[in-house]
C-alpha cells in the first residue's frame, strides 16, 4: 500500500506545509540492492579497550573491504594484524562523514567508564549520513562477574535507544551483547546491521552466544538450503519467499488451498514449489515432512501465517478467540513438535517465527491477537534452550508494515501507527523478510532465542 503522506512530503507544496506545521519528513530509507559493497560509506571503529571483540570487528571490516577509520591509535596494531587498512582519525580527517559508527564497549568496567561512550560518539554525532548505522558491541550483562560491570554494560541499551530517537535521517542504532567466546559468531549480525538489509530495525538489543562457526557464501548466504514459508501467497510471506530465494534457498511456498492461484504465482516467480495446506490440520507436520523428503530435508522453517480477528474483549466471540490462538501459535507449536521429534530439520536448521509488537505492547481490540503473538515469543524463548544439532529458533516482531492487513485499519489509527516511530513511516514487507533471512543463514548459529522488532523503533511497547 502506498504511503500518501510520504509522496506528498516530496512535492513543493508538501514540503512547504510540512515545514510550517513542524511535521516529520519521512526519508526514503536505503534498502538492499547488491550484496557488495555491504556498506556504502566510511565506517568509524572505536573501542573502550582493545579486546578480542574489537579484533574480530576489524577482521570483518577487512573482509567486507570497508573504508575504515580508527578512533584511537591503539586499534592500529589490531587492524594491521588482521590486514585492515584503516585511517586514524586526526585533526585533518575529523570532519569525515560516516555511514556507520561502530564501538566495542565490552571493555567498560563500571559506570564511570561510560564516559568513553560519550568521548567516542559526541564529536561525530553530527557526522552520520542518512540511513547510517550506530552499532555498539558489548558484553552480555548476565555473564559479567562484577555487578559494576553488568550495570555499565546494561546501561548501553538506554544509550542506543536514545541515539535511535535523536539521530533521525533513517539512522538506526542497536546494541549487540556478545557472550565471552562468541566473538567468532558475530559476522552475520555485523554484516546485517551495517547493510541496508536492516533499514527498519532500530533500538534493538541482540544477543549472541557461543556456537559452531559456520562459513557461508556471503553473496548467496542460503545457497543450497530448503525453506518452507507459511502464508507465502501474499503480504509479508510473499516477500519472505522472494528474499530467501534471492539469497539462494529453494522455497516451498505454503498457504491455504483457497490461495492456490496466488501461491503458484509466487512460486513461479522464485522458481520454488507450492504446498497447499491449512497449518491447523492435524497432519500439517507430516505433510511438510513429506514435501521436503525428496529435497534432502528441511533447513529453514518460517512460521509467518497469521490472522487478526479484532474486537474488544467484551464483544469478542469464542470463535474469534480460538481461531486466532490456533492459527497464530498452536499450529506452529504442533508443527515444530512433529518436525523436531521426527528429525525433519537438518543440523544447523533454522526456525523463524513472526510475532508482532502487539504481543509486546498489547493493543486495543486485539486481546486475542496480542495473546497469540506474546505466546509466539514464549515459544521462541522456551524452545531455544531445548534445541540440539545446532538448530536455532528466533522471531521477528514487526511493527506497522504496509500490507493488506494494515490497509484494513481505520484511517486515523493507521496514520498514527505509521508515524509513531523513529523513521516516521511504515515498514515494507521486505524489511521483515530481510530480518528473517538474517536469522535463517547457517552463519547465524550464535543467535538463538532472540526476538527482534522490525518496527522502525516504534514508540509502542518500547
Give me the residues that bind ligand NAD (CB under 6 A), please.
230-231, 233-237, 255-256, 259, 278-280, 304-307, 327, 354, 356, 398, 400-401, 403-406
369 is catalytic: yes
106: DSSP letter: T
**What is the distance between the alpha carbons of residues 338 and 3, in angstroms, rounded to a whole number?**
41
Q: How far is Cα of residue 377 from the mean position of the Cα atoms in its chain?
A: 15
Identity of the residue, 261 or 318, whose beta carbon is nearer to ligand NAD in the bound complex: 261
Query: CB of 14: closest distance to ligand NAD in angstroms?
Result: 25
Query: CB of 295: closest distance to ligand NAD in angstroms?
Result: 20
Residue for grid cell 561512550: 117
Choose the catalytic residue: 177, 200, 338, 369. 369
Query: CB of 401: closest distance to ligand NAD in angstroms?
Result: 3
| Strand-by-strand arrangement of the 273-276 sheet | 273-276, 250-255, 226-230, 298-303, 345-354, 392-398, 451-454
Query: CB of 203: closest distance to ligand NAD in angstroms?
Result: 16
Identity of the residue, 147 or 407, whose beta carbon is nearer to ligand NAD in the bound complex: 407
203: DSSP letter: S
Query: CB of 275: closest distance to ligand NAD in angstroms?
Result: 9
Identity of the residue, 174 or 406, whose beta carbon is nearer to ligand NAD in the bound complex: 406
The dihedral built from the CA positions of residue 243, 275, 401 and 354, taken in this order, carries a sign that is negative
Residue 17 burial (CB count, 10 A): 13
**What is the distance between the alpha carbons of residues 115 and 198, in angstroms, rounded to a whole number?**
28
426: DSSP letter: -
- What residues are paired with 44 via a beta bridge? 69, 101
**What is the distance between the alpha carbons of residues 127 and 405, in angstroms, rounded to a whole number?**
38
**What is the distance between the alpha carbons of residues 51 and 84, in angstroms, rounded to a whole number?**
16
Identity of the residue, 190 or 200, whose beta carbon is nearer to ligand NAD in the bound complex: 200
Identity of the residue, 115 or 404, whose beta carbon is nearer to ligand NAD in the bound complex: 404
Q: Which residues are catalytic?
A: 369
Amino acid at each position: 500500500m502506498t504511503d500518501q503522506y510520504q509522496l506528498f512530503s516530496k512535492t513543493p507544496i508538501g514540503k512547504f506545509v510540512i515545514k510550517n506545521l513542524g511535521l516529520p519528513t519521512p526519508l526514503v530509507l536505503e534498502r538492499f540492492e547488491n550484496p557488495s559493497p555491504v556498506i556504502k560509506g566510511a565506517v568509524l571503529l572505536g573501542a573502550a579497550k582493545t579486546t578480542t571483540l574489537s579484533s574480530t570487528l576489524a577482521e570483518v571490516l577487512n573482509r567486507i573491504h570497508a573504508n575504515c577509520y580508527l578512533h584511537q591509535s591503539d586499534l592500529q596494531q589490531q587492524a594491521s594484524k588482521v590486514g585492515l587498512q584503516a585511517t586514524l582519525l586526526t585533526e585533518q580527517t575529523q570532519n569525515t562523514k560516516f555511514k556507520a559508527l561502530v564501538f566495542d564497549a565490552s571493555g567498560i568496567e563500571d559506570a564511570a567508564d561510560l564516559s568513553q561512550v560519550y568521548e567516542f560518539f559526541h564529536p561525530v554525532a553530527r557526522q552520520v549520513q542518512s540511513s547510517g548505522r550506530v552499532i555498539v558491541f558489548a558484553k552480555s550483562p548476565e555473564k559479567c562477574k562484577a555487578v559494576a560491570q553488568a550495570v555499565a554494560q546494561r546501561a548501553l541499551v538506554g544509550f542506543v535507544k536514545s541515539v535511535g530517537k535523536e539521530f533521525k535521517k533513517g539512522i538506526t542504532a542497536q546494541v549487540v551483547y556478545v557472550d565471552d567466546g562468541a566473538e567468532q559468531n558475530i559476522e552475520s549480525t555485523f554484516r546485517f546491521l551495517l547493510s541496508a538489509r536492516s533499514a527498519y530495525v532500530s533500538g534493538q538489543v541482540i544477543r549472541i552466544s557461543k556456537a559452531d562457526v559456520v562459513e557461508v557464501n556471503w553473496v548467496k548466504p542460503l545457497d543450497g538450503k530448503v525453506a518452507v514459508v507459511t502464508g507465502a501467497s501474499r503480504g509479508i510471506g510473499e516477500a519472505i519467499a522472494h528474499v530467501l530465494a534471492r539469497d539462494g534457498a529453494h522455497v516451498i511456498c505454503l498457504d491455504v488451498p483457497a490461495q492456490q492461484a496466488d501461491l503458484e504465482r509466487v512460486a513461479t516467480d522464485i522458481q520454488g514449489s507450492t504446498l497447499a495446506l491449512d497449518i491447523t490440520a492435524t497432519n500439517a507436520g507430516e505433510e511438510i515432512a513429506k514435501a521436503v523428503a525428496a529435497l534432502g530435508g528441511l533447513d529453514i522453517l518460517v512460521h509467518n501465517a497469521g490472522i487478526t480477528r479484532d474486537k474488544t474483549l467484551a464483544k469478542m466471540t469464542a470463535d474469534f478467540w480460538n481461531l486466532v490462538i490456533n492459527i497464530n501459535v498452536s499450529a506452529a507449536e504442533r508443527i515444530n513438535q512433529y518436525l523436531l521429534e521426527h528429525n525433519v530439520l537438518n543440523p544447523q536448521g533454522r526456525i523463524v517465527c513472526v510475532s508482532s509488537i502487539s504481543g509486546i505492547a498489547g493493543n486495543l481490540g486485539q486481546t486475542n491477537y496480542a495473546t497469540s503473538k506474546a505466546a509466539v515469543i514464549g515459544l521462541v524463548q522456551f524452545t531455544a534452550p531445548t534445541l540440539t544439532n545446532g538448530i536455532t529458533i528466533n522471531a521477528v516482531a514487526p511493527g506497522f508494515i504496509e500490507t493488506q492487513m494494515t490497509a484494513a485499519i481505520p484511517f486515523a489509527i493507521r496514520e498514527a501507527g505509521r508515524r509513531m516511530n523513529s523513521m516516521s513511516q511504515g515498514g515494507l514487507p521486505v524489511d521483515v523478510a530481510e530480518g528473517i533471512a538474517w536469522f535463517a543463514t547457517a552463519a547465524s548459529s550464535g543467535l538463538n532465542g532472540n526476538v527482534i522488532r522490525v518496527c522502525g523503533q516504534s514508540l509502542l511497547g518500547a
